[in-house]
Structure 1
Amino acid sequence: MEIIHQAARERAEAPFGARGAIVERAAATLGLSVQRTHTLVTEASRVLRLQAPRQRRSDAGNTAVSEEELILISGAMANTRRAGKWMLACTDAIDMLYEAKKLSTRLSPGRVCVLLRERGLHPEQLAAPRTATQMRSDHPNAVGEMDFSVCVLYRTPKGELLMLDPEGEHYKNKLENYTRVMNDLLVRAVYTDHASGAIATRFYLGGETAENALDFLMWVMTQRVDSNGRAMPFHGVPFKIYTDQGSAFKAASFVNFCAALDIKTERHKPRNSQATGQVENAQNLVERGLESRLRFLDPESITMQRLNSLAELWMHHWNGTKKHRRHGMSRYVAWNLIQPAELRIAPTMEIMRALPSTMAQKRQVTSDMRVSFAFKGQGSKEYDLRYISGLSPKDQVYVTVNPFAFPAVRVGVTDMETGEIVWHQVEPVQKDRFGFDVQAPNLGTGEFRAMPATPADERRQAIAAQAYATEAGPATAQQIEAAQRAKAAPYLGQFDPLADIKATQLPTYLPRKGVQHAAAAPTVEAVRLSVAEACKRIRLALGEAYDPGVYAWLTERYGSDGVPEDAAQALIDSRRQAASADVPKTGLRAVGGGA
């Protein structure tokens, strides 16, 4: 080994061209091949750190793939992610984009992945969670979060509540069993108060529906009592509810119910469940803290009533005993810090249950800018909408009852720019003993008041001004009236109404071969006259130019078959032509006809 080390030292100091001789001498001394000795000397030089540092390439750090091309490759891979897996491999992405002429060169997938990671463009780097901002709320009941999730129970045809078997019967290779119970799965509804962290939960059949969401929200807002009849904290109407994009929360009945109770609703963006992370974590707490215990209960003893009783029992236990890490208090103690102005007592359950059936109904605005609305058991009333901006006759509006200011209603008008529904509180029309609006102008005194101009009026005016525009610009109201009275054509001279037809470029069609149709025109046989009748007609037509020899000639030619009517007419025509040309008579000549 010393010989190898000495040869490595000598080679490191030897000039260029003399290193081979040193390796050959060491090989002869050791009795090894030159190749093997060269390998040993090189390895010793590395261990003894005798090798000169490798010179950095002049083009180090440069690549043939541009930044834009790397972004394109990254985007192609990132947009095919499904179930946490990249469906499009890097190799396939490179091949696809190169053949599509989107890449200037084709690098190896390994090198491309290295470049993607160096620039932070690799799909795994882009899949990192987005940064999240911690939000706060001012007091209990300021904001509530609500969510549904599938429970571990399902209902059998017999009405029993059984637990799903995640290991075999309902999942692994037995999807038909899972499909069979899908419609009978229980869902777990969870509501959390953002400030205190208090949790409310119940179970429902039928999935995540608007009906279940409404029932759960009503139950949450109603004050509950424990098994000893003591009133429990955590109730009242929240000021805002924050949810995901579930269909139940987007249903008109749910949104309008919240609007009637002056609850602002907001849904986070799709695929952003961390926005409602508090209620998502509460789902996990309920599943682990409550549902995990159901495994030890007799399945035949589990009913919907008992299940919800257990849920309420667990809820009071958790909120009353477990300290929250954020504020260091139990959730019920934190909720009890609510001030009187912050606690809005919910209407009775009877009123709340009546709201969905008598609210959020569509109404069409009449020509006098009114809508009618009837609250259950209270009769129908009319509401004047003339001073609500953005409305025209025959527009559709939403009408909901205001349970805190009945008989006033809230009228929802869709904003054309944002698509949001803007709510206006409207009082009912006051009527006299004859049923007239007490604010209406009096016809007997000649009092008249024009209705405010509606958006439809303004649009009609703008269209008419354009239709009857002059060289000076849009038509005035007087010009429009004059043009319509004169029945002038709208848009006259502004465009060619046949422009699209004239601009049509038809393709050149190749003639197609066909088969001659066998049908022929029908033959019409001319009417035949007797020789005497024919001569009579000819004499009457020719007068003195009639030749008596015609009778003999016709008899010889046609005989008893009769003279065709067209032949007689042709003979008359020929004799007239001969007479007009002063051609001397040279005898008779047959013209037309048939034997």
Structure 2
Amino acid sequence: MAAMKPRKRRADAGAFALSRDEACSIAALVEETRRLTGTGALPVEDAVEILRSNGRINAARVDEATGEWRALSTSAICRAIRHYGFHREALSAPSPAARLSSPHPNHLWQIDASVSRQFYLADDGTQQMDKRVYYRGKPGNFERIADRRLWRYVVTDHASGCLELFYVQGAESSANLLAALMHTMTQRPTGTMHGIPKMLMMDPGSAVTAGMTRNFLEATGIEPIVNEVGNARAKGQVENAHYLVETHFEARLKLQAPVTSLEEINRLAQEWARGYNATRTHSRTGMTRRDGWLRITSDQLVLAPALDVLRQFAATPPKPCTVRDGFIRFKGGLYDVRGVPGLINGQRVNVIANALAAGDSVRVLMPGEADRQVVHYLAARVSTNAWGFVETAAEVGAEFKSLPETPADAARKELDRVAMEVRTDAEAAAARKSKRLAFGGKVDPMKPLRDAPVAPALPRAGRAADVEVPVVVAQRIEPAPVRAELAALGHYDAATRLKPMVERAGGTWTPDMYARTAQRWPEGLPVDEVETWAVELLAPPRSGLRVVQGGAA
């Protein structure tokens, strides 16, 4: 029997009729309907049917033999979705964690809280959680021991891996977080890691955003780094430290009498941390955690003030101060803020004490960039002479000192140059003086309104008002009769009207005109004869004699 020939490979093998955009739309609709548990998603065939009916996809191919469109099968669509990387297995794979590094100890600390394995501190000592008593169906049992619940705060140094732990009661709070942090920052006889870190990484929560925590971090100059919600891997070092504490320390507590107080469990915790840091080799550094932290230099180690001073920083909120000619007043001292970028005269800024140089400088809190926290700027204290004047002030009559141009001054000048369409400040001032229009008058402020595509309003149908229209009858109003006393003007009133008429015609009002008026109109000049009489007054008076041919008349 002859061997069968191998099947010929299709010319379009490896190609997909379903485009990447259509595969993306189908996968997006399926994932949109999936439950948080990863189940319950809409079937692919239903998603394709919905998107086809809405005109969002074709999911079809052209039959080369007949030239007609044929819908793709569900299996072909699923193969294309997998090829483009939109299948469930690819989407559910965890994103790779970014590798982080720190250049030296105390560059970055991580802090996190978790419920202790001992669970709560009873009258007769620590008690572990009995699953038969404390479970989801009995929330009241949790409430009864809520204030006695044991929490552990673990602090780790990112560079050396050195760790410290501190136990508190109650719940996660700003006071408990700061208590653990201040305990780690202060130098202790049994501890190694101490000082003020440059940055602190922690979980988001009310304890982190509380005003007390913000005040403390701002006063000590610690930059907070809050990881995103649900991204605990960002501080994986401290998460792993919880596991180390639970398995290497708290597991030992089961082999001895129950701990009866916070002081006792914290004392035991310090003994364990001291020994663990000094004896266990860290896999990344190849040395013990204690030896790794001790490589810190004097420039990198910022010593923390006393514990009572640290507590004051937690309770002191920032104080708003007003900038006056490049200076601010804070707790009786004068500080120079002319070097703070973006600060303008008259602006109010938040100021806090500087924990590292109390009295010599303060911290001015300014908003940072979009992806950063508040930026701290140090403002040095300014000394004054015996008369209270600033030492650097210009002496009247002896010297002249001008203040540097502020950002607000520079911005105003730049806007003037742009509006006047010139290059120099002098040209801008001259243009303003000459009343030049902004932008050369080429900007039409009404153009957007004229060009707006406003559709004509169609007449709206309505109904007639249900009211009775009154009948209006026009009334003939007869002119009021002229009063008799106003029909003629007295000689004085007549002269008052005649004089300006005569003068407007180029004549001169004379006493003879007044006499002629009184003689001609002894009872008063009629109102309707005023203009006619004014013309006659301008004519020369008629003589009593007349010339007759042949001699005198």
Q: Which residue of 2 aligns with 1:510?
A: 460
Does the C-alpha gap of structure 1 residues 474 and 88 become closer, same or farther in structure 2, counting only changes over 3 Å?
farther
Q: Indicate the structure with greater helix content.
A: 1
Q: Residue 315 in 1 paired to residue 273 in 2?
A: yes
Q: In the alignment, which of 221, 226, 237 is matched to residue 185 of structure 2?
A: 221
Cα separation, 2, equivalents of 1:370 and 1:539: 84
For the 8 Å contact 2:367–2:374, the answer to whether it is kept is yes
Does the C-alpha gap of structure 1 residues 465 and 424 become closer, same or farther in structure 2, counting only changes over 3 Å?
same
Cα separation, 2, equivalents of 1:180 and 1:506: 71
SS at match of 1:101: coil
Does the C-alpha gap of structure 1 residues 490 and 67 become closer, same or farther in structure 2, counting only changes over 3 Å?
closer
Q: In the alignment, which of 184, 197, 204 is matched to residue 161 of structure 2?
A: 197
How far off its partner does 1:281 sit? 1.0
Q: Which residue of 2 aligns with 1:371?
A: 328
Question: Deviations 1:128-172 (Å, cap 9, x if unpaired)?
Answer: 2333465554554343222234556888999x9876676775425
What is the identity, as a one-letter code, of the residue corresponding to 2:48?
I
Q: Residue 234 in 1 paired to residue 177 in 2?
A: no
Q: Which residue of 2 aligns with 1:405?
A: 357
Tell me the TM-score normalized by structure 2.
Answer: 0.67
Tell me the TM-score normalized by structure 1.
Answer: 0.63
How far off its partner does 1:368 sit? 1.4
Question: Deviations 1:531-550 (Å, cap 9, x if unpaired)?
Answer: xxx9x979989x9xxxxxxx
Cα separation, 1, equivalents of 2:455 and 2:261: 74
For the 8 Å contact 1:364–1:394, the answer to whether it is kept is no
Q: Residue 423 in 1 paired to residue 388 in 2?
A: no
Does the C-alpha gap of structure 1 residues 125 and 404 become closer, same or farther in structure 2, counting only changes over 3 Å?
same
Does the C-alpha gap of structure 1 residues 391 and 278 become closer, same or farther in structure 2, counting only changes over 3 Å?
same
Cα separation, 1, equivalents of 2:461 and 2:445: 32
What is the identity, as a one-letter code, of the residue corresponding to 2:384?
K
Q: Residue 385 in 1 paired to residue 337 in 2?
A: yes
SS at match of 2:335: strand
How far off its partner does 1:495 sit? 3.4
Q: Which residue of 1 aligns with 2:387?
A: 434
Question: Deviations 1:195-241 (Å, cap 9, x if unpaired)?
Answer: 4423222244565444433322111112334xxxxx33232333443
Q: Residue 117 in 1 paired to residue 82 in 2?
A: yes
Does the C-alpha gap of structure 1 residues 355 and 169 become closer, same or farther in structure 2, counting only changes over 3 Å?
closer
Q: Which residue of 2 aligns with 1:144?
A: 109
Does the C-alpha gap of structure 1 residues 98 and 186 become closer, same or farther in structure 2, counting only changes over 3 Å?
farther
Cα separation, 2, equivalents of 1:446 and 1:335: 57
For the 8 Å contact 2:117–2:128, the answer to whether it is kept is yes
How far off its partner does 1:354 sit? 2.0
Cα separation, 2, equivalents of 1:264 and 1:464: 39
Cα separation, 1, equivalents of 2:11 and 2:164: 67
Alignment of 1:25-36 (within 5 A): none
For the 8 Å contact 1:187–1:203, the answer to whether it is kept is yes
Alignment of 1:40-439 (within 5 A): 56-77=9-30, 83-85=36-38, 88-91=41-44, 92-105=46-59, 107-132=72-97, 134-137=99-102, 139-150=104-115, 170-172=135-137, 187-204=151-168, 207-225=171-189, 231-246=190-205, 248-249=207-208, 254=213, 257-258=216-217, 260-261=219-220, 263-268=222-227, 271-289=230-248, 304-316=262-274, 318-320=276-278, 322-327=280-285, 330-332=288-290, 334-336=292-294, 338=296, 342-358=300-316, 361=318, 363-374=320-331, 380-406=332-358, 407-415=360-368, 421-439=374-392
SS at match of 2:113: strand
Cα separation, 2, equivalents of 1:396 and 1:362: 10
Cα separation, 1, equivalents of 2:287 and 2:313: 36
Aligned residues: 470
For the 8 Å contact 1:398–1:411, the answer to whether it is kept is yes
Q: Which moved more, 1:384-393 or 1:284-293?
A: 284-293
Cα separation, 1, equivalents of 2:272 and 2:456: 77
Question: Deviations 1:306-332 (Å, cap 9, x if unpaired)?
Answer: 554454455345435545444565544
Which runs of 5 or more structure 2 residues have no equivalent in the other structure? 60-70, 488-553
Cα separation, 2, equivalents of 1:298 and 1:510: 90
Cα separation, 2, equivalents of 1:514 and 1:164: 81
SS at match of 1:104: coil
How far off its partner does 1:279 sit? 0.9
Cα separation, 1, equivalents of 2:226 and 2:352: 21
Cα separation, 1, equivalents of 2:296 and 2:160: 10
What is the identity, as a one-letter code, of the residue corresponding to 2:393?
A
How far off its partner does 1:243 sit? 3.6
